[in-house]
A and B are shown apart, each in its own frame.
Chain A
Amino acid sequence: MGKTSLEVVYRGIFQKTLARNICRAIVLAARKEGKVGIGFGRYGDSPERNGIPAKYFAVVADTQEELEENLAMYEADNVDVTVAVDDTLCKGVESWGWYGLQPINQLTKNTGTVLVTSVQGRSDLVRDIHTKDVPYNIGVVQGSTSFSGLWVYKDDHTDVRVLGAICKVCPEMVSLESMEEAILEQWNNPVKVDSARKSHDRIETRVVEPGEGNPEEPFSFDLPGWTTMEEALVVRNVEQGAGFRGGDGGYEPVRNPYFKKWSTRTMRPVVNFETCIKCTLCWLHCPDSCFDVTPDGLYDSNMESCCGCGVCEDVCPVPDCITMVNEAEFEGNLSQWEDWNTNKDGYNKWMTEIVEKQKTQEPRSHGFHHVGQYREEVGSVTDSRNVVEGL
């Protein structure tokens, strides 16, 4: 008798079908062992937005009665396995105003497992993950992050490789044999079964001790009650902004303190302040009003509010003046301009290195670029109707 549960933390829209595929396959595979289960998206994440972290859950139980403990809930109380299908989610998850930053391991049980799809090592990831006061395990499903849009699913086997790994780290949820059977039934593709098995055989985990990891206290808020909230659905606006860092020159908007949005980011813009021609386009076209205007007329992207869409890189007319760099390369959200202003040589050296490194890496693809793209990348495009059902 027992009950096991799992969450898939994913990037909204880009990985919705992926997260759903994983959770569905678990429930269907567990059924082969006579178990019952459910899969559900966290309703509060809906409507999903591109990149904004979201969650999908699967709960498997031996009996209907045990399963009922998890029905009519938005979120499981705790999970045996947390899967992060993008490694930058290890920095934390902020899905809605007032949610605060939820550590990726927030729901992971004592001695449960966090599985991350990543090309980074386990220790690099642990550095980003907030500390926990109980031990848990971490494992890496090796591979770059799988992103696609809603209409065209990028079937690069990330789904089954994660499923294989889950069977290894939590065999009480579902066995590899049942999973293989379910995968074949779902996709009718023996190559995907092989992918799952290989991943199962390769996955290794290590224990993360209590107190190990990012010691920062994640930001959180206390919700007011009906006697302290303002009536008539009124919310006070933020103030008009003023000079840069409170000074006379430049401009810095006041920002919504209850939703920061940076946990949406998978890449961040790195600015070469030396080649900037102050054309204003990055500032003008930023949908998130991220750019603070410095007194010297430069634009400093505020890393608390930047969600990493990359429009600034696309509109910038100067080659390499703005480069989107993998978020995993960074710690913290400090101002690049302030770094540059205090130590120009040091900043320029760091900036050049990190930009050059990015160029050598496989580019992180954030969805659909052109017809045939995924066919070129993975050799097959699934029937888009399967994808539509994922909504």
Chain B
Amino acid sequence: MTQMVDLPQVRGVKNIPIEEMFTSGHRTCQGCESALTMRLMVKAAGDRTIVTGSTGCMYVANTTYYTSPWVVPWMHTQLGSSGAAATGTAAGLKALMRKGKVKDEPINVISFCGDGGGIDMGLSGISASLTHPEYNHLVLLYDNESYANTDIQVSGSSPWGANSTFSPPGKVHRIMNTRWKKNMVGMLAAGHPDCRYLATSCGSYGLDMTNKLRRALTIGGPTFIHSIDPCPKGWDYDPKFSHELGMLAVETGLWVLYEIVDGELFLNGPSKAIAKGMKQRRPVEEYLSRQGRFAHFTEEDTKFVQSKVDDMWERWWGPGVIPINVKED
């Protein structure tokens, strides 16, 4: 593949493409924000796209056998294989096009994974895929902060203290998940200097997400996007609030919207406004108290989460980007 698909940046929400490349008739939960992420992902990419998806909700729920909600070609890949699937698809196309075995034309290659597949099991494969500048592809991680498909078990991306079927609050141990959520984009950015585009996103900011997808698909080489997806099933809230909880995650500063383009960091949307002091971070309590998975939290627990988020904003290199500070002599 010698060229990239022509995908101009979209100005204004009304110019988001009208065509659906992921349509109705998938067995996702009511208010599934990850389904929205899938929809926006291929809407932004258009019909000259191949998608591979690793095991997780967006496999098991979306595609029930002998039916498909996908308009673009789609193929399952294994739980830890989103990186390998992206590399394999792009490499196959590249070889076939170079040798004239198929028409040489730009085709988007997108591989997605959930947090379990991407942040836990598939980390090494994603890392390897980002070291191949010769292949154009995007790995999109939809993060609903647990193994929601398999019954909501804690993952390396689950928030501290969250209730899950592997971390139930008990009589002796109120907090079973004592691990802080992994910092995926910061880690990948720091470790893969040849990767030209990495970003965080959230489906509640549809235009921002659309344009990030298009930048990722047109800049060249392997790219990575990490989307936070509120999950009514595992987070336990009324499905109508999916959009609102996504916004709250950003406005409380728990989730920072940013992109790293050719090694330069740009904050986006409300995160940018907060960093510039044009907007106040909302207390994390507003976010935590709306979800059943934190219903067992005490005031101290909430304070602890608040202090960690404050650290992200005040002590990290770039808010929520890299948990390192340059120490002055």
Seen from chain A, the residues whose Cβ lies within 8 Å of a Cβ on chain B are 12-13, 47-52, 96-98, 149-152, 224, 229, 235-241, 251, 253-261, 264, 279-281, 284-290, 293, 302, 304-305, 307-311, 313-315, 324, 365-371, 381, 384-385, 388, 391
Would you call B94 an interface residue if the criterion is a C-beta within 8 Å of the partner chain's C-beta atoms? Answer: no
- On whether the beta carbons of B26 and A237 are closer than 8 Å, the reply is no
Q: Is the CB of B19 within 8 A of A259?
A: no
Cβ B295 vs Cβ A260 within 8 A: no
The reply to whether A367 and B237 form a contact with Cβ atoms under 8 Å apart is yes
Measured in the bound complex, the distance between the Cα atoms of B233 and A150 in whole Å is: 7
Known A47-B61, A368-B295: A235·B238 in contact at CB below 8 Å: no
Beyond A256-B69, A289-B20, A311-B242, 11 additional contacts (C-beta under 8 Å) are: A236-B68, A256-B25, A261-B25, A264-B30, A285-B36, A366-B239, A367-B292, A368-B295, A371-B289, A381-B295, A384-B163
**Chain A residues whose CB sits within 8 angstroms of the CB of B241 once the complex forms:** 314, 369
A98 to B28, CA, bound (A): 16
Most buried by B among A240, A280, A311: A311
**B20 and A241 form a contact (CB under 8 A):** yes
Query: Is the C-beta of B182 less than 8 angstroms from some C-beta in chain A?
Result: no
> Are A314 and B168 neighbours in the complex by a CB distance under 8 Å?
no
CA distance A254 to B19 in the complex (A): 10
A384 proximity list for chain B (CB < 8 A): 163, 168-169, 295-296
Assess the A261–B27 pair: CB atoms within 8 A.
Answer: yes
Give complex CA distance A149, B169 in Å. Answer: 16
**Measured between alpha carbons, how far is A384 from B243 in the docked complex, in Å?**
26
Closest 5 CB pairs of A and B: A256-B25, A310-B240, A149-B236, A305-B24, A97-B64
Kindly name the residue among B73, B236, B243 whose own CB sees the greatest number of chain A CB atoms within 10 A. Answer: B236
Given contacts A311-B31, A311-B243, contact A302 B24 (CB under 8 A): yes
CB distance from A291 to the nearest CB of B (A): 10
Distance between B164 CB and nearest chain A CB, rounded to angstroms: 9
B69: shortest Cβ distance to chain A, in Å?
A: 5
With contacts A150-B152, A240-B47 taken as known, whether A13 is within 8 angstroms of B233 at the C-beta atoms is yes
- Central interface residue in B20, B57, B169, B294, by most chain A CB within 10 Å: B20
Contact stretch, chosen from B10-18, B114-122, B308-316: B10-18
User: Who on chain A is nearest to B152 by CB?
Assistant: A150
**Interface digits, B289-307 against A, CB 8 Å rule (1 contact, 0 not)?**
1111111110000000000
B149 interface residue (CB < 8 Å to A): yes
Q: Which residue of A lies closest to B229 (CB)?
A: A287
A50-B239, A287-B28, A287-B32 as given contacts; A235 in contact with B68, CB under 8 Å: yes
Q: Quick one: which of A236, A279, A280 contacts B16, CB cutoff 8 A?
A: A280
Interface residues of B in 262-290 (CB under 8 A from A): 289-290
Subset of 12 A-B contacts with CB under 8 Å = A237-B70, A240-B21, A240-B47, A254-B71, A256-B25, A284-B16, A285-B243, A289-B24, A309-B242, A314-B240, A384-B169, A388-B168
Residues of A within 8 A of B20 (CB): 240-241, 251, 253, 289
- Docked pose: A381 CA to B292 CA in angstroms: 12
A237 touches B24 (CB 8 A): no
B2-44 contacts to A (CB < 8 Å): 13-14, 16, 18-36, 39
The reply on B67 being an interface residue by CB < 8 A is yes
> In this assembly, does B125 line the interface, its C-beta being within 8 Å of a C-beta of chain A?
no
Of all chain A residues, which has the CB nearest B29?
A: A50
Q: Are B30 and A152 in contact (CB under 8 A)?
A: no
| Cβ contact within 8 Å between B169 and A238 | no
List residues of chain B with CB within 8 A of the CB of A260.
Answer: 25
State whether A308 touches B18 (Cβ < 8 A): no
The answer to whether A288 touches B163 (Cβ under 8 A) is: no
From residue B189, how far is it (CB to closest CB) to chain A in Å? 29
Min CB–CB distance B186 → chain A (angstroms):
28
CA distance A256 to B65 in the complex (A): 12
Quick check: A251 and B23 within 8 Å, CB to CB? no
Residues of A within 8 A of B297 (CB): 371
Inter-chain contact B66/A258, CB cutoff 8 Å: yes
Q: Which residues of B contact A369 (CB under 8 A)?
A: 237-238, 241, 290
Choose among B16, B66, B149, B232 the residue that contacts A47 (Cβ–Cβ < 8 A). B149
Contact A51 B240 (CB under 8 A): no
Contacts of B131 in A (CB 8 A): none
Contact, CB under 8 Å: A311 / B240: yes
Q: Is B105 an interface residue (CB 8 A)?
A: no
Asked if B206 CB lies within 8 Å of chain A CBs, one says yes
On whether the beta carbons of A51 and B19 are closer than 8 Å, the reply is no
Cβ B240 vs Cβ A366 within 8 A: yes
Q: Which residues of A contact B236 (CB under 8 A)?
A: 149-152, 367-368
* Contact A261–B24 (Cβ < 8 Å): yes
B134 close to A (CB within 8 Å)? no
Partner pick for B238 among A305, A307, A368, A385, CB 8 A cutoff: A368
A254 cross-chain contacts in B, Cβ below 8 A: 23, 71
Contacts of B291 in A (CB 8 A): 368
- Is B13's CB under 8 angstroms from A280's CB? yes
Which residues in B have their C-beta under 8 angstroms from that of A150? 152, 233-234, 236, 292
Which chain A positions have C-beta within 8 A of B57? 47
| 1/0 contact string of B163-206 vs chain A (CB within 8 Å) | 10100111100000000000000000000000000000001101
| In contact, B292 and A47 (Cβ under 8 angstroms) | no
- In the complex, are the beta carbons of B292 and A50 less than 8 A apart? no
**A97 & B27 in contact (Cβ 8 Å cutoff):** yes
Of residues 129 to 177 in B, which have CB atoms within 8 Å of A's CB atoms?
Answer: 149-152, 163, 165, 168-171
Given contacts A50-B30, A151-B293, A235-B66, whether A253 and B24 have CB atoms under 8 Å apart is yes
Q: Is B91 an interface residue (CB 8 A)?
A: no
Q: Do A50 and B19 touch (CB < 8 A)?
A: no
Contacts of B206 in A (CB 8 A): 284-285
B25 x A47 contact (CB < 8 A): no
* Given the contacts A367-B239, A384-B295, A52 and B29 also touching, CB distance less than 8 Å: yes
Q: Given the complex of chains A and B, what is the CA–CA distance between A388 and B204 in angstroms?
A: 30
B61 cross-chain contacts in A, Cβ below 8 A: 47, 49
A47-B151, A256-B24 known; A98-B66 Cβ under 8 A: yes
B219 at the interface (CB under 8 A from A): no
Chain A residues whose C-beta falls within 8 Å of the C-beta of B169 in the assembled complex: 384-385
Contacts of B24 in A (CB 8 A): 253, 255-256, 261, 288-290, 302, 304-305
Query: Is the Cβ of A289 less than 8 Å from the Cβ of B39?
Result: yes
Instruction: Tell me whether B60 is interfacial, beta carbon within 8 Å.
Output: yes
Which residue of the partner chain A has the closest CB to B63?
A: A235
